[in-house]
Amino acid sequence: MTDSSDIDSGTHVHADVDVDTDTARKLVFSDVRDVRLDSVSTEELGPNDVIVETTVSAISPGTELLLYHGEVPEQMAADETLETLDGDLSYPTTYGYAAVGDVVKAGKEATDRVDERVFAFHPHQNRFCVDSDNLISIPDGLDDETASLLPTAETATNFLLDGSPRVGERVVVFGAGVIGLCTIQLLANFPISELVVIEPIPGRRELARTFGADRALDPSACDDIFNDHDPPGADLVYEVSGQPAALNAAIDVVGYDGRIIVGSWYGNKPTELELGGDFHRDRITLTSSQVSTINPDLRGRWNTDRRLSVAIDQLNAIDVDALITDRVSFDDASSAYRRLTEVPESTLQVLLTY
């Protein structure tokens, strides 16, 4: 783990340390590149509510960095499918959806959950009150750090459900960040003919090969990678780099009647698609994939509970230790976001510890 104190301070964090067990601290995105810890009163327990003491939470290097950099569209609504997120994402706002902790107190209808280890889709906060129905029990075989990557595994699972990789297909993944690497490792278990990863950071390319990629290339070398095949081009492309320019590259790589699954959220970064060339005649399918919902074509047999159960199983197939590069104290949360911004070549998954 790299010591986050090595990063020069370019942001500020203001911690209001509390000693009252009825108060907690929450992380607030207060402005561009500015986060702080605010005191907040834990809500009065309802009959089915519990108090969770957080042990670890995972930072989403996609959405949270968009918030940190001020790249979320103004008045963008929070994810309405998560009851712990409300309002919009304008400053100041709380965010996060990967908290693991222990139930330390419960209302009269949830006393059976006291002392249980749980996962919650909850913003970064050292202690919080939540309806017990919104908690996920952590299996004994998963440690807290692994469990905190459950949303990442669920997102990767959703990508595979949306893309439907088929036996013998040629698959390309743009982006070997945390979600890209999880997607790569799950794809490597499929009987596809070749898995190629496009990633600018050398260390991430090497990790992609370790995770099962047949080839991992710099974006400058991705032209014509399947042009000598019959039929030419990739069958399936995943764009999970977070970089709008990669979407045009994905269109160039995919073949006739190919599929592109767009897992990136670009925020308010401009995206200029070049649709006047091969795209117009090649019947390319562009599909947005977002974990809040299930593919409409699958809803007859799939729901979010089933997908989540599969994602928990998939966590056992993902090399979580290779993904976690930094563990940062919640009190020093601002350094975690600086590190993700300033040294991405050596930073993947950052965990906040409590």
Residue 1: the pLDDT is: 45
How does residue 22 score in pLDDT terms, banded at 50, 70 and 90?
A: confident
Query: Do 4-149+321-353 and 152-293 have matching folds?
Result: no
Per-residue model confidence as pLDDT tens digits over 262-311: 999 998 888 888 888 888 889 999 999 999 999 999 999 999 999 999 99
CATH architecture of 4-149+321-353: Alpha-Beta Complex (3.90)
CATH architecture of 152-293: 3-Layer(aba) Sandwich (3.40)
Distance CA 170, CA 166 (A): 9
Residue 77: the pLDDT is: 58
Q: Identify which of 43-47, 222-226, 252-256 has the greatest average pLDDT.
A: 252-256
At residue 30, does pLDDT exceed 60?
A: yes
Residue 80: the pLDDT is: 56
How does residue 76 score in pLDDT terms, banded at 50, 70 and 90?
A: low
Q: Where are the domains of the chain?
A: 4-149+321-353, 152-293
